[in-house]
Amino acid sequence: MKSSAVEHEIYLLLGTNLGDRVRNLEDARRLIGEVLSEPTGVSKIYQTAPWGVEDQPQYLNQVLRLNSNLPPMSVLDSCLKIELELGRIRERKWGERTIDIDVLFYDDHVISTPELIVPHPRLQDRKFTLVPLNELAANKLHPLLKVSVRELLDSCEDELEVELFEI
């Protein structure tokens, strides 16, 4: 992987609803730290009902902030490899999973390729993303919508409950 000397601020969303969900998040954080970079910020863990496909277990979600000199596609490739290592199987869209790692932001870049869209195209529609992201980046401006994460959360119409998860 070719890297640059420039450190990029990256926000990742972790999600899990199969197996030992807390352990899945811990393992994902550990591998992200080893492969990409140690997180500089870690949100609390939140439990939410499934979004999109309802007949599955509840999710745990968490947002990480990290700095890395890797280019966006290398970040995505690393996230996909971590998902596979942790047993991710893609059977149906929005289906259950041991771990899901989404790239929410990569600096203020706007990226649109068949493999990667950044900012994440649905982050403004999902409270399970916005609540933990707001913890770490309330004032960060969405580079396309030109409003802060806090404003996105305040105007989000998603009615799924997002509850703090006590370990």
Whether 125 is a known active-site residue: answer no
Whether 21 is a known active-site residue: answer no
- The answer to whether 101 and 75 have CB atoms below 8 angstroms apart is no
- The answer to whether 161 and 154 have CB atoms below 8 angstroms apart is no
Whether 30 is a known active-site residue: answer no
Selecting among 21, 29, 65, 97, the annotated active-site residue is 97
Please report where in the chains the tokens 């970079």 appear, as a residue: 37
Selecting among 29, 100, 126, 158, the annotated active-site residue is 100
Selecting among 29, 65, 102, 158, the annotated active-site residue is 102
Selecting among 29, 65, 88, 126, the annotated active-site residue is 88
Q: Give the CA distances from residue 60 to residues 7, 45, 110, 123, 147, in Å, rounded to whole numbers and listed in that order.
A: 29, 6, 27, 16, 26
Whether 150 is a known active-site residue: answer no
The contacts of residue 138 (CB under 8 Å, 6+ apart) are 148, 149, 150
Burial 105-117 (b: 16+ CB within 10 A, else e): bbeeeeeeeeebe
Question: Known catalytic residues?
Answer: 88, 97, 100, 102
